[in-house]
Structure 1
């Protein structure tokens, strides 16, 4: 009984306090900064999912990880506690995610106005019932785009947005959108056929659309859908101020029913998560040694965190590797906070932020050959490339040194971008993989010409086969720029061969 009381007091109750505090803190800040003051210009998917998922890791890691270690959990090293941390994070994150929808919908009342022009008097409101309005159907502006989704980007989603102007008003728009999802592994002919069919059916449905069939309007906040409507508007009015445009989408459900069962789900999800954590805390025994260290406030070692921080430290042992990885991560963070979709930004979004395409380069945007190697098409794309970059850089930095590693990375990346625009007429290419394949080309040269030891050569060739081989094979099924990969690999091999000709003895000495 004493042990149970100790576990509740030292682990479970602190978890409950931290969980409730984190949920309340985030929801309060979101309510004030976003819904009331409107000074949080971040997209809905970032505020509703990604930040709620990432935020709980901070308090769990800082204040609960040391307490979890007093539990005697079976497993290897630090990995045995990761599952506990993950469950605690989930128990906090899920209620935050569920509550975002509730807070947003409950923070605004339905504003009854006479005409569309009256919306200007309610800038911080979200829901409107307009007594009388007319739509200029003939002046509707279309925009079509596509995004991938699903595991391994196996779904291709088409979106067609129609921004329809209200009569006598050019800053308030009636938004109508259509969507269709198909398999992304289909052939180009099938995709083209599905695309044409989607356009034809959407245009037919739009021509028959009943603009008066609604109960109220919802004003779109920062979101991918709002961006889609804005792109439609900017095609005709490129000089408009995006922040002044109001996009209204029709809602057909009863306004009073908009909250549904969201509130019970918030408390229910927190209750279920808390109950799971309770069982996980109560069942294992106490590790007396760790408990003694904890009570005596001895610093608990966190080998995983220390290893990650050392690896990403630009002043550490692997300076070049750290600099390249941190640059890729920082650029992605900037992309997300500029409003790009964190999972699947569109081709036009990637082009706008610095992606490479033949037309832009040939008309003077040579800088894109450089910037494209630090831009990624979603978080999964980034994570995959960080793994490849980390492996390749570590295998080279102790031979080449930090400066040469970074220089060869950049040269390979630029040459890979050139290879991409030479091979593809209209493809927008982004990502570090061309530069990474350049590093693997150097590794291949060092393996072929015996810079690495015999034992090390087996390791390098195995890694090349796994990473490069799988990437090239996946590229055969579409969605991956093999032109950049192959150009990067060949460029790296040539660079590696040149380095060997110039300084073979030094390279062998460093490799040993």
Structure 2
């Protein structure tokens, strides 16, 4: 069998079936659970983007990790292959979900808004006779920071208005649905606090003029506001409308194009699939098959004869059964002797997130004003006596994905270092690098709300990097060093995206490198003892 045939039979065709099955299964479950049955609400961004992206890594890591090793010459190429296979599942799935949400929604015609309570619950409505009450409104003001370098200051005003059948219904102090408006404006984040406050007042005055001139009658149809950050803001605005009792009424946003224009072109679904899976398949086709070490062989892909030939290739005269694949280590979150700090830090960070989520502050993302109340780092507050924010901000996160990604990094770095440092030293390093990262953040960003453990985690990776550099003569450390440099560079590149505090990352990384330089000799001695089997450290604990 030629190499090309082997690649198609063992890698490309199975992965093609997996990608198609993943897209079909996720789309089916999305339609059934959240569109047809509406079993429970889920944040739209999580459902349409983050879940497809994260779940796509499950088959990659569970079923294709060993297959990819056959065409991956090193750890970096292995990660690239894993990434493109995951993207070939995630990107088409994301495109399909966005099309599904709009295409599956039906338009329900209403003569008057009171009919909505008896009409089928749908995503879209047309409305013939109505009155928008512009007196009993609810308003919420908000602001956030965006841009690759946090250069944008975004101002938001969320407004809700009761939708009534006629003007005389205002006396009832009840409504059947809410009409929503979102006003926003972006300015430079380089403005001072006083300048931003003045700019927001000007923006509010401009918004009031627009609001007074708007008849609220030019929309074509109405769409239900999904569970989202904007939806949360509109719910808060409803609570501000004290004179109207209709907290459970549908919240609707106006749409001004034709109903047929709501869908994007379906051609993007097959194109996105062909693009990303095509790149993945081309990499596999042109990458040479390699001899996989015996302890990496996947018994589902290699026959006894192939494994025997592999050992003969290595100069072994007699067949030896390959080592069994390592079982997943589920004890990495278990507190035990010599391994305390890493799981405890993860538990504390996750607990803080859960408390905030169950307090009704959100799930996927938290608002900046709520984060400030809980102890986020913010230069105007921190340098005016609230220095405790340098520490508390290390245990706060902006939302679900933020805490999940940081805890993954903490688990990797902490479990590696706690074997070479004692728990006390690890905690000291974590706190020092985290505080340095917080200081770097407020030094670089004068008006940015900053939260997250990533600065301290980058500090731990800085210590690991310093150790690997000092131990680079060892082949294992040399290989891990190259992967570590790629990982750090990749994450710093991601930090160029908006909303990511690269100043904190760099501050933590540099401080970790400095501390690691002094800790490296002791870490090398500890590792040498572990290699020679003279010590029974945390690796021997169950």
What is residue 184 of structure 2 aligned with on the other side? 179
Distance in 2 of aligned mates of 1:64 and 1:205:
56
Cα distance in 1, alignment partners of residues 323 and 139 from structure 2: 58
Say which of 239, 248, 251 aligns to 1:247.
251
The 5 Å alignment of 1:54-453 reads: 54-71=54-71, 73-74=72-73, 76=74, 78-122=75-119, 124-167=121-164, 168=169, 169-237=174-242, 244-261=248-265, 263-289=266-292, 294-296=301-303, 312-315=333-336, 317-329=338-350, 331-332=352-353, 340=362, 342=364, 345-350=366-371, 354-355=374-375, 374-378=395-399, 379=401, 401=423, 431=452
| Contact map agreement 1:52 1:96 (CA 8 A) in 2 | yes
Q: Is the 8 A contact 2:107 2:124 kept in 1?
A: yes
Distance 1:396 1:93, change over 3 A: closer
What displacement does 1:180 show? 1.6
Contact 2:112 2:128 survives alignment (8 Å) = yes
Unpaired segments ≥5 residues, structure 1? 359-367, 418-425, 444-454, 457-465, 471-478, 490-509
Task: Check whether the contact 2:406–2:453 (CA below 8 A) recurs between aligned residues.
Answer: no
Post-superposition offset of 1:88: 0.7
State the partner residue of 1:446. none
The DSSP-based 3-state class of the residue aligned with 1:39 is: coil
What secondary structure does 2:273 align onto? helix
Q: Distance in 1 between matches of 2:454 and 2:7?
A: 47
CA distance in 1, matches of 2:241, 2:323: 61
Post-superposition Cα deviations, 1:457-512, rounded to whole Å, max 9, x if no partner, equal xxxxxxxxx9xxx9xxxxxxxx9999xx9xxx9xxxxxxxxxxxxxxxxxxxx999
Aligned to 1:253, the other structure's residue is in SS state: coil
Q: Alpha-carbon deviation of 1:252?
A: 0.9
Of residues 36-45 and 288-297 in structure 1, the stretch that sits farther from structure 2 once superposed is 288-297
CA distance in 2, matches of 1:85, 1:100: 23
Maintained 8 Å contact 2:333/2:343: yes
Secondary structure of the corresponding residue to residue 89 of structure 1: helix
- Structure 2 residue 6 is matched with structure 1 residue 6: yes
Gaps of 5+ in 2: 308-321, 379-388, 439-446, 464-469, 472-487, 493-500, 512-525, 530-542
Is the Cα–Cα contact under 8 Å of residues 321 and 390 in structure 1 kept in the other structure? Answer: no
Distance 2:240 2:449 in 1: 20
Equivalent position of 1:459 in the other structure: none
| Corresponding pairs, count | 434
Shift of 1:241: 7.9
* Cα offset, 1:397, TM superposition: 8.6
Q: Distance in 2 between matches of 1:184 and 1:34?
A: 38
Change (3 A) 1:165 1:239: closer
Question: 1:280 and 1:333 mapped to 2: Cα distance?
Answer: 41
The answer (yes or no) to whether the contact 1:99–1:266 under 8 Å persists in 2 is: yes
- State the SS of the aligned residue for 1:7: helix
- Offset from partner CA, 1:212-253 (integer Å, 9 cap, x none): 1011100112111111111111124499785x2311111111
What is the CA–CA distance in structure 2 between the aligned matches of 1:137 and 1:320, rounded to whole Å? 56
Q: Deviations over 1:54-107 (max 9, x none)?
A: 110001111111111122x33x3x332010010011111111111112111121
**Contact 2:150/2:448 (CA < 8 Å) preserved in 1?**
no
The alignment partner of 2:131 has SS state of: coil
TM-score, L = length of structure 2:
0.65
Partners of 1:201 and 1:33 lie apart in 2 by: 43
How does the TM-score come out when normalised to structure 1?
0.69
Decide whether aligned partners of structure 1 residues 25 and 401 sit closer, same or farther in structure 2, where only a CA change above 3 A counts: same
